[in-house]
Amino acid sequence: MSIFITGIAGFVGCNLAATLLQRGDEVAGFDNLCRGSTRNLESILGHPRFAFDAVDLADIDAYRRALTRLHSRSPVTEVWHLAANSDIPAGIGDPGVDLRDTFMTTYNTLLLMRELGIGTIAFASSSAVYGDLGDRNLTEDTGPLFPISNYGAMKLASEVAISAALESYLDRAYVFRFPNVIGIPATHGVILDFVRKLKRSPGMLEVLGDGTQQKSYLHVDELVDAMLFIRRQAGDRLNYYNIGANDEGVTVRFIAESVVGRVAPQARISFGQGNKGWVGDVPKFSYSIAKLSGLGWRPTLGSSQAIRKAVNQIAEQESGN
Ligand SMILES: NC(=O)c1ccc[n+]([C@@H]2O[C@H](COP(=O)([O-])OP(=O)(O)OC[C@H]3O[C@@H](n4cnc5c(N)ncnc54)[C@H](O)[C@@H]3O)[C@@H](O)[C@H]2O)c1
């Protein structure tokens, strides 16, 4: 296989690339490095089956030139589209960020797949497409879908742009709805925020919201394993799956206490008001992975175990910075 990954220098992209190379695939990827870094690719940059180019995928002319060149050297068999704005609060401040980095990167990717005749796409979507449905157990067929962040809106718009493309020129699509994914190299997220805050002021950790927000967390190693499993086993034209831990998730209070315990045991934790960390934050979601379990994949770590593993890894990562 010759696999092209967008957003390859980001947290999930670099982990996926390393796993595909180990499996024997040819891997190429683009990233504009707005959030990712070539440091994340250090261990694979010299690999004979790997190629990287710094390209802004929202710039269709630059993207077309670079992908056409790559495709003529080594025809791409499928695209894994991971590039996006991964900072949800940033998109609240400026909705243009999600339009450009989340939706236009999808739109341009589809346009070029059509031009170059590449038929298979795998897409990193998100639980954010569900919006705030309270205690409802979210299955893939839950609806209607009304996201409450621009991030979720542009992920949902991307999903439906993919389904429309399937009707005319794509052969097959995989839509993965991720939960919160954790591990290294961390580029964003609650654990990294807490570790950095404690590095700046070791006596006190300020938490956005009252700490009762409760979500499901999956380690990136398991996420990559689940995506590749779905890619192998699911045989529909449009394959859409929730990927997550098999539990109700853990609270932000639990995460704050885990980080404090590891990084600054004397620190006091100060909680804010209300159960939302920011506008567009979904305070609680309960994620069904029954469809994925039915296909035959189950996570080995629960949310709390994944948090403990990632806290250790991220604390280690940041102690070197
Ligand atoms: N990590 C999570 O918890 C999580 C949860 C749900 C969904 N997702 C989705 O998974 C994917 C990967 O997320 P991640 O955690 O690795 O985030 P990340 O920010 O580490 O990676 C995204 C990469 O996309 C790149 N990018 C953004 N805009 C670009 C553009 N215009 N052109 C080229 N590159 C661009 C960034 O530089 C970054 O390297 C994203 O689509 C994200 O929305 C992640």
Task: Compute, in angstroms, the gap from residue 26 CA to the centroid of ligand 1.
Answer: 21
| Ligand 1 and 13: CB distance under 6 A | yes
pLDDT value, residue 58: 98
| Ligand 1 and 105: CB distance under 6 A | yes
| Ligand 1 and 56: CB distance under 6 A | yes
Q: What is the position in ligand 1's atom list of the atom closest to the CA of 181?
A: 3
Is the predicted pLDDT of residue 54 greater than 90, yes or no? yes
pLDDT value, residue 136: 86
Q: Which residues of 128-157 are buried (b: 16+ CB within 10 A; e: fewer)?
A: bbbbbbeeeebebeeeeeebbbbbbbbbbb
| Ligand 1 and 70: CB distance under 6 A | no
229-255 mean pLDDT: 95
The pLDDT confidence band at residue 211, using thresholds 50, 70 and 90, is very high
230-246 mean pLDDT: 96
Q: What is the position in ligand 1's atom list of the atom closest to the CA of 100?
A: 31
pLDDT value, residue 278: 63
20-30 mean pLDDT: 97
- Asked if residue 265 has a cis previous peptide bond (ω within 30° of 0), the answer is no
What percent of the chain clears pLDDT 90, i.e. is strictly above it?
Answer: 85
Is the predicted pLDDT of residue 280 greater than 70, yes or no? no
Task: Compute, in angstroms, the gap from residue 313 CA to the centroid of ligand 1.
Answer: 20
| Ligand 1 and 256: CB distance under 6 A | no
CA-nearest residue for atom 11, ligand 1, is 82
The pLDDT confidence band at residue 321, using thresholds 50, 70 and 90, is low
d(CA 268, CA 257): 10
Report which of residues 92 and 62 the model is more confident about: 62
Q: What is the position in ligand 1's atom list of the atom closest to the CA of 87?
A: 19
Task: Compute, in angstroms, the gap from residue 184 CA to the centroid of ligand 1.
Answer: 14
96-102 mean pLDDT: 97
Is the predicted pLDDT of residue 283 greater than 90, yes or no? no
For residue 210, what are its two tokens? 């009252």
152-173 mean pLDDT: 97
Task: Compute, in angstroms, the gap from residue 211 CA to the centroid of ligand 1.
Answer: 25
Backbone angles phi, psi at 297, to 5 degrees: -110, 135
The pLDDT confidence band at residue 277, using thresholds 50, 70 and 90, is low
203-208 mean pLDDT: 94
179-195 mean pLDDT: 94
pLDDT value, residue 291: 98
Is the predicted pLDDT of residue 216 greater than 80, yes or no? yes
Least confident among 72-86, 231-245, 284-298, 302-316: 284-298
Q: What is the position in ligand 1's atom list of the atom closest to the CA of 180?
A: 3
| Pocket test residue of 4, 12, 52, 138 for ligand 1, highest count of atoms within 8 A of CB | 12
| Ligand 1 and 302: CB distance under 6 A | no
pLDDT value, residue 51: 97
Find out whether 298 and 246 touch, Cβ atoms under 8 Å. Answer: yes
The pLDDT confidence band at residue 248, using thresholds 50, 70 and 90, is confident
Is the predicted pLDDT of residue 92 greater than 90, yes or no? no
For residue 100, what are its two tokens? 């450009």
23-36 mean pLDDT: 97
The CA distances from residue 298 to 146, 234, 235, in Å, are: 28, 15, 18
Look at residue 63 and give its three-state secondary structure: helix
CA-nearest residue for atom 1, ligand 1, is 181
Task: Compute, in angstroms, the gap from residue 54 CA to the centroid of ligand 1.
Answer: 14
| Ligand 1 and 109: CB distance under 6 A | no
pLDDT value, residue 279: 65
Q: Which residues contact 214 (CB under 8 A, 6 or more apart)?
A: 248, 249, 250, 251, 252, 283, 284
Per the prediction, the chain carries an average pLDDT of 94
What global pTM score does this model have?
Answer: 0.95
The pLDDT confidence band at residue 89, using thresholds 50, 70 and 90, is confident
72-95 mean pLDDT: 92
